[in-house]
Amino acid sequence: MAAFLGLLLLCPAVSKASEITVLDIRDAITPPIASFIGENIDSAVSSGKTAIIIRMDTPGGLDTAMRDIVQKEMNANIPVIVYVYPPGARAASAGAIIALASDVAAMAPGTNIGAAHPVGVGGVGGGEEAKEEAKTMAEKVTNDAVAYVRSIARERGRNEAWAQDAVVKSISTPAHEALQLGVIDLVAQDMNDLLKGLDGRTVKKNNRTFVLKTTGAKLTEVEMGFRYRLLAALSNPNIAYILMLIGLAGIFFELSNPGVILPGVIGGISLILAFFAFQTLPVNYAGIALILLAVILFIAEIKVPSFGLLTVGGVISMLLGSLILFRDEEIYAQVSLGVIVPVTLLFVAFFVATLSLVVKAHRRTAVTGAQGIVGEQGEVFTWGPEGRGKVFCHGEYWNAQGPADLLPGDRVVVTELRGLELVVRPVGPSR
């Protein structure tokens, strides 16, 4: 009996009627993307799927998110296939390592893989000591990445030398050349071609052997739900940047005009969403500080007669803060100049317009209360020889005092308000 059970364990796990989950990843690798992939790998395992295919087109992504995906791939109890698709797609940087970690790596013609050198690991500014520290840190991160990809390539039986060069030299390789170099397992024109190429392939994983049976397999395509789409959108640096500026503008407008409510609500929500996005992105807090300084300079313009110098300083601070807002040098983790320039100009225009309205409101002559009636014209209703009587002014009858020779019907102008009594003088000669 024991011998029979041992034979069963040694037999390959041949798929019956294959059911395969298919995921589409066409974005930077961020924590929401890692959560989406991890959740669906777990779901595919628990629901008895025979494999999972990740169709991928990515410029790369964050190291932590990439490592989460790699761990899920390598520890899943079913084969995980990564397919770089469609033609013209790429598996760059973090995407290349995710492909290397898959049980079967496939690419469509016209795609490329590689350029996995770590970036954003320190600047070169400052003195010689700071430069040396930055260089040492960069070497540590690079060496760690090299050891990581070599171990993955060795585990998956792929080209270790190529994996190292992808990190150290940032090489990138087209599909057919990657196949020849042993970086990937097959090149497939489309999904049908991929399923044909996978059929009958043996995958050894976690002390088990799987034989893929993909002919006539049932494919279940899983799309990102609203929650993941929202989280992925918030992880876009351009969206996070715009949300932060909307939040600052809304809060400023609410503080300048208490009681409007709507700008404050929108600003508060936008700031909270922006701070959530900053948790998933490599934020440079010096950039945030410069943007906040720009807001302070714009507000100070109304209090200090700087002849526009504070506004100019605010614009410069805003641009510099926007350019260094995120630490990562990769293009997917930077705010686009096509977003920075128009958004900064709109933001500055908003502040200038708002502050100019505030200045005009402060300089406007009062039109209500005691000061509002001074300078108004009225008509004498009754008048006595002692220089007192009633005047119809501002839609009301007022007690008034003025020259003794005024007569009912004379036009007068208010020169002063004493308590509840007007002081008037004639507009023209008395009758």
State the CATH number of the domain containing residue 169: 3.90.226.10
Residue 155 CA, chain-centre distance (Å), reads 36
Q: Amino acid identity, residue 55? A: R
- For residue 28 the two structure tokens come to 């930077």
> In 157-225, which ranges are continuous DSSP H helix?
160-168, 175-180, 191-198
- 380: containing domain: 369-426
Q: How many domains are contained in the chain? A: 3
**Domain shared by 194 and 247, yes or no:** no
CATH number at residue 400: 2.40.50.140
Cα 130 from Cα 124, distance rounded (Å): 7
**Domain shared by 407 and 315, yes or no:** no
**Domain shared by 133 and 187, yes or no:** yes
Instruction: Examine the fold and report which residue of 363, 381, 402 is the final residue of a domain before the chain moves on.
Output: 363
Q: Is 140 among the catalytic positions?
A: yes
* Residuewise pLDDT in 10s, the chain (431 residues): 444 444 444 444 444 458 999 999 998 898 899 999 999 999 999 999 999 999 999 998 888 899 999 999 999 999 999 999 999 999 999 999 999 999 999 999 999 999 888 765 444 445 566 567 767 777 888 899 999 999 999 999 999 999 999 999 999 999 999 999 999 999 999 999 999 999 999 999 988 999 999 988 999 999 988 888 888 888 888 888 888 888 888 887 777 677 778 888 998 899 888 888 887 777 788 888 888 888 888 777 767 766 668 878 888 888 888 888 876 555 455 677 777 888 878 877 777 776 676 666 655 555 555 566 788 889 999 998 888 999 998 778 899 999 988 989 899 999 888 878 899 999 865 44
**Domain shared by 243 and 329, yes or no:** yes
Closest CA to 173 of 119, 105, 73: 105
Of 15, 18, 49, 93, catalytic? 93
- For residue 207 the two structure tokens come to 């002390």
Of 135, 140, 204, 218, catalytic? 140
Q: Is 47 among the catalytic positions?
A: no
